Amino acid sequence: MLNCRVVITRLASPLGCFQAARASTASAAQADTAPPKRQRPAKFEADGQSFVTDDKWNLSPAVIKLMERRLLQEQKNPLTLLKQRIVNHFHGKYRKPGGRSPLYAVCEQEPRVVSTFANFDSLLTPIDHVSRRSSDTYYVNEGHCLRAHTSAHQHKLMTQGLDNFLVVGDVYRRDEIDATHYPCFHQMEAVRLYSADELYQTRAGEELAVFEEIPDAERKPGKQERHTVDAVKALEIRLKSTLEDLSDALFGPECEKRWVDAYFPFTHPSYELEVKYEGKWLEVLGCGIMEQKLLESAGVTDKVGWAFGIGLERIAMVLYGVPDIRLFWSRDSGFLSQFEGLKPEDDVKYKPISAHPQVLFDISFWLPAGVAFDDMRADVCDVIRGAGGELIEQVKLSDEFENKKKGKNSQTYRIVYRSNEKALSKEEVNVVHKSIERELVEKFGVTMR
Ligand code: PHE
């Protein structure tokens, strides 16, 4: 298992290529070599949509498999806990006037195959931007790809009339492979739009403009041509305080953070938030003032807004101390059981599991007369821990029932044995298992079944 400190120093961008250089256009054209000829299906179906494929198709069988998994629907996955924690934070803090309902709509069911318009054009991504390359994006056909970021839904959701929303889901990139990059990862996006009155909290009669009157106002490093200086300042303060509050809620207010200038095609100005983790600055999200052109094309003519996108894996790795991104995909109960039954707000640190295989044994017995189920469970766990020591990874009560006819109670436990040092054989586990059974019979008077 990789040492956490070492891994953190290698953490690269969680957001990948969208904030990457505007300047890399020359090499972009060269590097976009013809996609490798792959076996491709005539049709591809996903999330209730069907697409006819063409030569642009570059999905690998492995990435299709990842699409089928749906980690955010698994209750035990730490990413699900984190998603819920962030949603709870937003619902708790931001309410519609009157306070009865949450301000942000949560969109979790957006289809993962999106048009290239949604993924790139609507977001004003330059035609020669690196992110459009076949080597960076999974294409289903010329006009459709797997969403490479949750920003791909901004335009459609605004067009549908949503002003304030969170979008969460799995996104796909043909990226490098290391401890922090995986072809599929998860993002949480937020968009918040304001009318002038909402932004400035003005009272009747007061007026402050969000748009420049001058028709040929200039774009500057600090602002877009259409925005007034006041609007940008107000938006920046609201955006940054929203994210600083979120960071405090996740990492604690004592965690150091800093803002860094950034570039995204769909926001200006743009920023990244970094937090100090184990002595190193770590980038956790990208955000900015939304391009007015994007809002206008989605039919929003009288509002301004901000947006942010968070890489969930990146935050979960820090929050739960998970050293390798592949672990989120583990089906190993040694990993998943550490997050089972937790509330989203619970603080938990992951304890590395052994790389050696598990050995499973069950134990079933009748309880002695008059012993309550709960008392028995506590004693059983003590005995197992005592006799099995370091070889015990998990103990689960898998069945419990009362046999009315016989007037007896039964319990069954599943014990997961695993060593940190070596692969255990069934025979050696059996020796330990038998000693547990013996102790339960001798000390507590249970009858093995
Ligand atoms: N979509 C960007 C990325 O994946 C992050 C982002 C979202 C930046 C919203 C600004 C606003 O890199």
Please work out whether the CB of residue 78 comes within 6 Å of at least one atom of ligand 1: no
Contact 136, 130 (CB under 8 A): yes
In tens, the pLDDT along 17-74 reads 455 433 333 333 444 455 455 689 999 999 999 999 999 999 988 899 999 999 999 9
Token pair 């200039």: residue: 218
pLDDT at 8 over 50: no
Same domain, 140 and 288: yes
One domain for residues 143 and 264: yes
> How confident is the model over 295-325, as pLDDT tens digits?
999 999 999 999 999 999 999 999 999 988 8
The residue whose CA has the least distance to atom 10 of ligand 1 is 287
CA 122 / ligand 1 centre spacing (Å): 13
Say if residue 210 is in the same domain as residue 288: yes
Task: State pTM to two decimals.
Answer: 0.81
Do residues 143 and 195 both lie within one domain?
A: yes
Are 283 and 399 in the same domain?
Answer: no
Q: 321 in a domain, yes or no?
A: yes
Domain shared by 318 and 374, yes or no: no
Residue to mutate, 18, 137, 294, ligand 1, most ligand atoms under 8 Å from C-beta: 18
Domain holding 57, by residue range, is 15-327
At residue 189, does pLDDT exceed 50? yes
Whether residue 73 is contained in a domain is answered as yes
The number of the ligand 1 atom at minimal distance from the alpha carbon of 191 is: 9
Tens digit of each residue's pLDDT (9 = 90 or more) over 214-254: 877 899 999 999 999 999 999 999 999 999 999 999 999 99
When divided into structural domains, the chain yields a total of 2
Q: Which atom of ligand 1 is nearest to the CA of 285?
A: 5
**Domain membership flag for residue 375:** yes
Q: Are residues 312 and 368 in the same domain?
A: no
Q: Which atom of ligand 1 is nearest to the CA of 309?
A: 7
Select from 120, 137, 151, 154 the residue to mutate for testing ligand 1; criterion: most ligand atoms less than 8 Å from CB: 151
SS3 for the chain is CCCHHHHHHHCCCCCHHHHCCCCCHHHHHHHCCCCCCCCCCCEEEECCEEEECCCCCCCCHHHHHHHHHCHHHCCCCHHHHHHHHHHHHHHHHCECCCCCCECCEEECCCCCEEEHHHHCHHHCCCCCCHHHCCCCCCEEECCEEECCCHHHHHHHHHHCCCCEEEEEEEEECCCCCECCECCEEEEEEEEEEECHHHHHCCCCCCCCCCECCCCCCCCECCECCCECHHHHHHHHHHHHHHHHHHHHHHHCCCCCEEEEEEEECCEEEEEEEEEEECCEEEEEEEEEEECHHHHHHCCCCCCEEEEEEEEHHHHHHHHHCCCCHHHHHCCCHHHHHHHCCCCCCCCCCCCCCCCCCCEEEEEEEECCCCCCHHHHHHHHHHHHHHHHHHHEEEEEEEEEEEECCCCEEEEEEEEEECCCCCCCCHHHHHHHHHHHHHHHHHHHCCEEC
Tell whether 5 is covered by a domain. no
In this predicted model, what pLDDT tens digit does every residue of 392-436 receive, in sequence order?
988 889 999 999 998 999 999 999 999 888 999 999 999 999 999
Residue 97 predicted with pLDDT over 60: yes
Residue 351: inside a domain = no
Residues 160 and 295 in one domain: yes
Tell whether 135 and 205 lie within a shared domain: yes
Residue 7 lies in a domain: no
* Statement to judge: residues 164 and 88 lie in one domain: yes
List pLDDT tens digits, range 243-268.
Answer: 999 999 999 999 999 999 999 999 99
Q: Which atom number of ligand 1 is nearest to the Cα of residue 286?
A: 8
For the cut 50, the answer to whether the pLDDT of residue 190 exceeds it is yes
Within-domain flag for 299: yes
Q: What's the average model confidence in pLDDT over 359-367?
A: 96
Can you tell me which atom of ligand 1 is nearest the CA of 171? 4
Between the CA of 99 and the centroid of ligand 1 the distance, in Å, is: 29
Residue 272: CATH number of its domain: 3.30.930.10
Average pLDDT, the chain: 89
CA of 308 to the centre of ligand 1 (A): 6
Q: From the CB of 287, is ligand 1 less than 6 Å away?
A: yes
Per-residue pLDDT at 182 = 87
How far away, in angstroms, is 93 Cα from ligand 1 center? Answer: 23
Same domain, 147 and 101: yes
Domain co-membership, 322 together with 395: no
pLDDT attached to residue 19: 52
In a domain, 336, yes or no: no
